[in-house]
Amino acid sequence: MTAPADPPDPGVPSATHTVTQLTEQAQVLRAELSDLQRTLTEARQDLHGTRVTQIVQANAHLVQAALAAQAAMDLANADLDRLTRLSQRDGLTDTPNRTLMLDRLQSAITMAQRRSTLAAVFFLDVDHFKTINDTLGHAVGDAVLQLVARRLEASVRDSDAVGRHGGDEFLVLLPEVSKLADTTVIAEKILLDIAAPVVIEGHPLQLSVSVGIAIYPSDSEDAATLIALADAAMYCSKRQGGGRYAFHASAVPTPQVLK
């Protein structure tokens, strides 16, 4: 049983509201800039008497309005960037979330179709994670998930992607696979790297993951189906005791990697 996914970040609605406010403010300031520019144009037609004073005042207002508009737009862009990041990243592990990983998998399928290559999806579940959470506390559990994310990122290639699917489940996407043996090499490296002993908040731990693998196009040509098949293969590994990987096509887990 996996831990529930994190609840939506409450900062997202707040960021959306702020972006809306700042955008409206910038629109008002742009309108003011337009009015001031029109005043300057009219004032330039008569450079005598009070018109000179009007030009000076209008120019000062124009500069102030321009600076205010730029500041408002900078704030809006910063909040928009933050909102985009919140919508695409997992708040705990700072990895791509389920939605972004699905989008990347769909892109990988398109690329594989064009190049007539393979793509692979790994579905991983942290073995005995509920026991860690229940006996050592959620702070240790969170630290374990962060550690697993970092070790997964270090285990794969630069072209691959690691994302948290939810709870203690992760996805690894291999978009550029020339031969099936490449996935075996990476799967074995993941198992070994995850199994390296670690001490978290004074608790010595030796972690392991169960891994299921689905291959495009032999298993499926649909992104969501590939994930579901990899998930099913992962449960095959877990039923054998964890610390293994299994391909969906064979549904036979490999021997456990020695730790």
Give catalytic residues, as residue numbers: 168
105 within 8 A of 161, measured Cβ to Cβ: no
Please name the residues in contact with 238: beta carbons below 8 A apart, sequence gap of 6 or more.
125, 127, 210
Phi/psi class of residue 228: alpha, beta or left (left: φ > 0; alpha: ψ in -120 to 50)? alpha
Pairing of strands 245-247, 209-216: parallel
Using a 10 angstrom Cβ sphere, with 0-12 exposed, 13-18 middle and 19 or more buried, the burial of residue 62 is middle
DSSP percent split of the chain into helix, strand, coil, nearest 5:
55, 15, 25
Please name the residues in contact with 112: beta carbons below 8 A apart, sequence gap of 6 or more.
118, 119, 175, 216, 217
Collapsed DSSP state (helix, strand, coil) of residue 154: helix
Please name the residues in contact with 79: beta carbons below 8 A apart, sequence gap of 6 or more.
15, 18, 19, 22
CA distances to 30, 35, 63, 78, 210 from 54, in Å? 20, 13, 14, 36, 75
254 within 8 A of 245, measured Cβ to Cβ: yes
